[in-house]
Amino acid sequence: MTILENIGRLTITLMKSFAETISFAGKVLYRIFQPSTYNSATRTVLVNQIYFTSVQILPLFITASVIFGSLLIGIVFQLLKDLGLTQFIGNVLMGLIVTELSPFFTVLLITLRSGSAINAEMAVMKVNKEIKTLETFHIDVINYLLVPRIINGIISLVLLSTLFSIVLMSSGILFSRIIFGMNIDVYSNILLNSANFSDIVIALVKCACFGFFITLIPIHFGLRASHELTSIPIVVSRGMVSVFTAILIIEVLSLITKLI
Amino acid sequence: MDKGLQKFLRTNQRQAAPVSIDIPLISNQEVWLNIALIKQYHENMPRGEAEHVAINALQRLGLGDIAFKRNPDLTNEERFCAMLIRASMVRDALVVIDRPFKIIPHLKDVDYIFQALKKIEDFYSSCHIYDYEWVAEKYGALCQ
């Protein structure tokens, strides 16, 4: 009985948390499409956030993409050659690496760097009573803090994922020449013939969803901090676990969509 | 925060502009951004113009050099002045200073506060100071 009770209690807690997050997401989404949300202050925050998330990370991101992407492409091409599956090179590149791996790699990197930072930033603001400062001066917390960060998440994920795909495909030029003796025209033709519009749309929508949730969830959990310093690590850890759960759910949903 | 002060803030919602240790500067933003935020958010003032207004206001108090510093790097006096200027950015501001000696504990009297208020008096409509009775002597003739 106790075990059943515990399972029930856990399920109720999880469902409540899920419902709260979805309802919060709905509220934020509504604000994103309200023109009155935007003013000089929100634009300043948006520009700063894009700089912190997408521009400052570029050296690390490009280095990681070149090293990881090139090695991966090299191994995949070698494997395709060994298995005699050279004709599927385009499908593997576009269907697996560009539409699946790029968003996943990007979301992991951005979550580790920016998601955790946003989570801690919100919790510290709550503990320091800075959220109260905003409320006292009639500055809407959703409009000023949340909307710019979430839009930045969406823009950054889409752009960085595209950049990762470009780096991978560029590495592909080199490796297709070394491994298959293929020239750039043949390689480009194979890629273009394998490009599936619906796959690209799904990949972009997936990136946008990742961007939305990896910023929304850390903010949501960060704002749950109490006024005690000890609540910061608790909300950060809960937030990050929830973000990784959200990433897995979105990934699974996108795979199901592709299968259908 | 005192109940009287809370009531004042509630009844003068739009104009009330508090300066209080309980309403700190936003620590991950520079001083000028804290000040400019009010103009940018409520009046949609462009960033460049709001920056100019904020820095000019700081220079009036001889604090132009703190514009690009953040809250933890400020002295108590600098923090008080930054909060005062931020409050005065509210349109037709009714500045309310809540227990100023909690923000600058080592002050012997209110001269420093009055001098700061005098230098930016054209920025606000009126100013009210809330404090404990037991610090009345620091206000000198004002409380007699």
* Statement: residue B12 has pLDDT above 80: no
B24 touches chain A (CB under 8 A): yes
For residue A214, the model assigns a pLDDT of 93
CB contact under 8 A, A41 and B27: no
B21 touches chain A (CB under 8 A): no
Q: Residue B47: which of A44, A124, A139 has the nearest Cβ?
A: A44
For residue A218, the model assigns a pLDDT of 93
pLDDT digit string (tens) for chain A, length 260 residues: 688 898 999 899 888 888 888 898 999 999 999 998 899 999 999 999 999 988 998 998 899 888 888 888 888 888 888 888 888 888 888 888 888 888 999 999 999 988 999 999 999 999 999 999 999 999 999 999 999 999 999 999 999 999 998 888 888 888 888 887 888 888 888 888 888 888 888 889 999 999 999 999 999 999 988 888 888 999 999 999 999 999 999 989 888 887 87
Determine the Cα–Cα distance for residues B98 and B20; give it in Å rounded to an integer: 5
How close, in Å, is residue B52 to chain A by CA atoms? 14
Q: Residue B44: which of A40, A128, A133 has the nearest Cβ?
A: A40
Task: Report whether A194 contacts A90 (CB < 8 A).
Answer: yes
Determine the Cα–Cα distance for residues B97 and A137; give it in Å rounded to an integer: 14
DSSP-derived secondary structure letter, B90 = S
Q: Residue B24: which of A42, A44, A133 has the nearest Cβ?
A: A133
Percentage, residues of chain B above pLDDT 70: 96
Compute the count of residue pairs across chains A and B with CB atoms less than 8 Å apart. Answer: 53
Which one, of A212, A211, A229, A232, lies nearest residue A221 by Cα?
Answer: A232
* Statement: residue B125 has pLDDT above 80: yes
Determine the Cα–Cα distance for residues B98 and B4; give it in Å rounded to an integer: 11
Stretch B108-135: mean pLDDT: 88
pLDDT per position as a tens digit, B21-74: 999 999 989 999 999 999 999 999 999 999 999 999 999 999 999 999 999 999
Which one, of A231, A115, A234, A137, lies nearest residue B26 by Cα?
Answer: A137
B13 touches chain A (CB under 8 A): yes
For Cα atoms A46, A218, A211, give the angle at the middle one, nearest 5 degrees: 55
Residue A34 burial (CB < 10 Å; 0-12/13-18/19+)? exposed
For residue B110, the model assigns a pLDDT of 86
Chain B residue with CA closest to A143: the answer is B41
Determine the Cα–Cα distance for residues B57 and B42; give it in Å rounded to an integer: 18
DSSP-derived secondary structure letter, B16 = E
Cβ count within 10 A of residue A186: 13
What ipTM was assigned to the predicted interfaces of this complex?
A: 0.89
Chain B residue with CA closest to A117: the answer is B28
Cβ count within 10 A of residue A148: 24
Strands B124-130 and B16-19: unpaired
